[in-house]
Structure 1
Amino acid sequence: MTAVVLATTGVAALTLAQSASAASGCQVSYTSSPWPGGFSANISITNLGSPLSSWTLGFTLPGTEAVGQGWSATYSQSGQNVTATNVSYNGSLGTNAGTSIGFNGTYSASTFPGNPTSFTLNGTSCTGAVSSGSPSSTPTKSPTPTPTPTPSASGSSGGYLYEDSGQWAQYSIGGYTIYNDEWGSGHGSQTLWVKSATNWGVFSTQPNTSGVKSYANISKNVGVALNSLSSATSSFNETNPSGGNWESAYDIWLNGTGIEVMVWTYVSGNVGPLGSSVGSVTLDGNTWTLYAGNNGTNPTYSFVRSSNESSGTVNILDLLKYLENTKGYFANPMLSTIQYGWEISGTNNTQENFTVNNYSASAS
């Protein structure tokens, strides 16, 4: 599943000085979520120019940071200079196409050194403009592109702000980022559509084979230490298909991507959480069975509601405090990200429609 984190934000637009035959330019957003001695960084790259078949992003870390575990790119570091090179599935970037990458890192200073302020793509420095390809042309400022909707899976435009069938399609609006995220092996086809910050969904056609195929979700970055929070809640209202193997679930990330906490609100078909049951708990009028396990990279804790609900409110802070204070699984981690959506394993090879009618998430 996708993990996205934010505490401080730096945005830079890149212009690529390539041959006169091709327009070039791109935009990069670098966000980070630090905690004492460590941090998690998320980088979004959008190609504004002619299509690219491969790319290498370069930047300089401003202090004592060291790159650790990364995702969606191959990383190398020399001193404080870092390069990130595409992997097999995201090297091809058409015009206005984007991809997201990231990494966890460490630092030895007493305070977090901050974010990089400049980037290069394929060896060319950031200039904040798009080149027409002519050496004598004057670059002009290019706005952040708005993706052009394509016909929907149901055969009509649907009045969507955004619609995309790309495996890693994503759209940011109203403080959230909404992801298609077909990350599992053997996935079928899936189209993400967005009407507003809180009304979105997917048309998903997935085979009934083992394993998760996608986690279509809406994500909000927090970046606040757990014990500094007085509130963390979320409300949802959704319309679900009548069959298939999937669940509606929160995916809550602590310390970047160091700890995963899932909260299952609706279960359909043959799906189950990672790990083993460690008992039940009733909090805020809801009864949950708690599972504890490890996905090979980080510990994972899953609350599974005793009965399904397609609308409701979840007190996220109370669940996290239970894991911290009652179970002793962690101590004052950073609440990095709150995500909510559907973890889809199969839809009987038929198109099923998953819709969020209303949604909110907040932490303070």
Structure 2
Amino acid sequence: MLSSLATIAAFVAVAHGAATGLPSRTTAADAALCSQYAYQSVNGYDLLNNLWGISTATSGSQCTTYDGPAGSGIAFSSTWTWQGDQNTVKSYIYAGRQFQRKKVSDIRSLPTTVEWSYNRTDHRANVAYDIFTSTDPDHANSSGDFELMIWLHRYGGIWPITSSSTGSPIATVTVAGYSWDLYTGYNGAMRVYSFVAPNGPYNSFTADVKEFFNYLVKNESFPESQQYMLIYQFGTEAFVGGPIKFGVSKFQAEVN
């Protein structure tokens, strides 16, 4: 979750997951997911057209489509257009790996590969991995005690949640062979860590996400032996802009 720099202190976002009611389910491989929480389970992944912030839009729409298998992962895309408050997220389009929850300390590796693109750049959005953890293995997957985000790019001057009054990162680091600006702050009671690509997009990204947890354990006292990983997802948070297309030609993730 994130906010614009102008609203960091006040912004407390609604959780990413479908918090009210059950998502609608689609089974056809080429069917478009267009309703607020339209959902598809395919090849070990969840695909969700998550319009959790639609109430802040004055107009707009979004449809997400499963585009087929990609190696041992999946391909998907989404077309969206949103108008309204430029500082609030309207949706989080994502695919999430299905897995058996376990403590972060018991996870050996979290290998992933993703290839993605936007067909325009004149919008406000990020492209990011998003992971929640909690002491409760049965916690809802819409929030947690901690949130780890890995931003492969950001558009339109948006910023991650930070406690810094200047919006400055707490560190510039190298993790998994990539450079990052690290931000941290709170979304309500949930501690958020955001690793943000500092110099342009990582459109093709291959890494072991466990290395990000290892960094937090060593440098931020992250309590890995007490935290269960709840969800492992990748997508884009859309603010305003469009019509625009977000395409993921491959998203593959494993929990070992």
Could you say whether these structures have the same fold, taking a TM-score greater than 0.5 normalized by the shorter chain as the test?
yes
Taking only aligned residues, the RMSD between alpha carbons, in angstroms, comes to 2.0
Partner Cα distance (1:192, 1:254) in 2? 26
Partner Cα distance (1:267, 1:314) in 2? 19
**Which of 159, 171, 177 in structure 1 is aligned with 2:40?**
171
Q: Note if contact 2:78-2:246 (Cα within 8 Å) is conserved in structure 1.
A: yes
Q: Note if contact 1:236-1:359 (Cα within 8 Å) is conserved in structure 2.
A: yes
Letter in 1 for 2:178: N
Q: What is the Cα deviation at residue 247 of structure 1?
A: 0.9
Indicate the SS of the match to 2:160. Answer: coil
Q: Note if contact 1:173-1:196 (Cα within 8 Å) is conserved in structure 2.
A: no
**2:9 alignment partner in structure 1:** none
Indicate the SS of the match to 1:206. Answer: strand
* Deviation sequence 1:88-115 (CA, Å, 0-9, x none): xx5xxxxxxx528xxxxxxxxxxxxxxx
Letter in 2 for 1:249: A
Indicate the SS of the match to 1:99. Answer: coil
Indicate the SS of the match to 1:290. Answer: strand
* Deviation sequence 1:248-285 (CA, Å, 0-9, x none): 00011112422111110011112110013211111222
**2:56 alignment partner in structure 1:** 186
Q: Note if contact 1:266-1:309 (Cα within 8 Å) is conserved in structure 2.
A: yes
Give the alignment of 1:137-216 within 5 angstroms.
146-147=26-27, 161-184=30-53, 185-187=55-57, 188-197=60-69, 198-207=74-83, 209-216=86-93
Q: What is the Cα deviation at residue 3 of structure 1?
A: 4.2
Q: What is the Cα deviation at residue 2 of structure 1?
A: 2.9
Indicate the SS of the match to 1:236. Answer: strand
Indicate the SS of the match to 2:244. Answer: strand
- Gaps of at least 5 residues in structure 1 are 5-70, 73-89, 91-97, 101-144, 149-159
Partner Cα distance (1:242, 1:173) in 2? 28
Q: Note if contact 2:61-2:82 (Cα within 8 Å) is conserved in structure 1.
A: yes
- The two structures have a TM-score, normalised by structure 2, of 0.78
Q: What is the Cα deviation at residue 147 of structure 1?
A: 4.8
Q: What is the Cα deviation at residue 210 of structure 1?
A: 1.9
Letter in 2 for 1:190: Q
**Which of 156, 162, 171 in structure 2 is aligned with 1:279?**
171
* Deviation sequence 1:163-216 (CA, Å, 0-9, x none): 121011111101110111011132320011112251111110011522111100
Partner Cα distance (2:75, 2:254) in 1? 17
Indicate the SS of the match to 2:76. Answer: strand
**1:225 alignment partner in structure 2:** 103
**1:246 alignment partner in structure 2:** 125
**1:326 alignment partner in structure 2:** 219
Greater mean deviation of Cα atoms: 165-174 or 255-264: 255-264
Partner Cα distance (1:212, 1:146) in 2? 24
**Which of 7, 16, 36 in structure 2 is aligned with 1:2?**
16
Indicate the SS of the match to 2:23. Answer: strand
Q: Does 1:345 align with 2:239?
A: yes
**Which of 255, 258, 264 in structure 1 is aligned with 2:145?**
258
| 1:352/1:146 CA distance change after superposition, 3 Å | closer
Partner Cα distance (2:110, 2:27) in 1? 32
User: Structure with the greater relative contact order (CA < 8 A, sep ≥ 6): 1 or 2?
Assistant: 2
- Gaps of at least 5 residues in structure 2 are 1-14
| 1:315/1:264 CA distance change after superposition, 3 Å | same
**1:234 alignment partner in structure 2:** 112
* Structure 1 runs, 4 residues or longer, greater than 6 Å off: none
Indicate the SS of the match to 1:324. Answer: helix
| 1:221/1:259 CA distance change after superposition, 3 Å | farther
Indicate the SS of the match to 1:326. Answer: helix
Q: Note if contact 1:3-1:337 (Cα within 8 Å) is conserved in structure 2.
A: no
Letter in 2 for 1:320: F
Partner Cα distance (2:110, 2:77) in 1? 24
Partner Cα distance (1:167, 1:225) in 2? 31
Letter in 2 for 1:248: V
- The two structures have a TM-score, normalised by structure 1, of 0.56
* Deviation sequence 1:138-174 (CA, Å, 0-9, x none): xxxxxxx7556xxxxxxxxxxx522121011111101
Indicate the SS of the match to 1:227. Answer: helix
Give the alignment of 1:36-185 within 5 angstroms.
71-72=19-20, 90=21, 99=23, 146-147=26-27, 161-184=30-53, 185=55
Higher-Rg member (1/2): 1
**1:311 alignment partner in structure 2:** 204
Partner Cα distance (2:176, 2:196) in 1? 14
Q: What is the Cα deviation at residue 315 of structure 1?
A: 2.0
**Equivalences, count:** 217
Q: Note if contact 2:17-2:52 (Cα within 8 Å) is conserved in structure 1.
A: no
| 1:319/1:146 CA distance change after superposition, 3 Å | closer
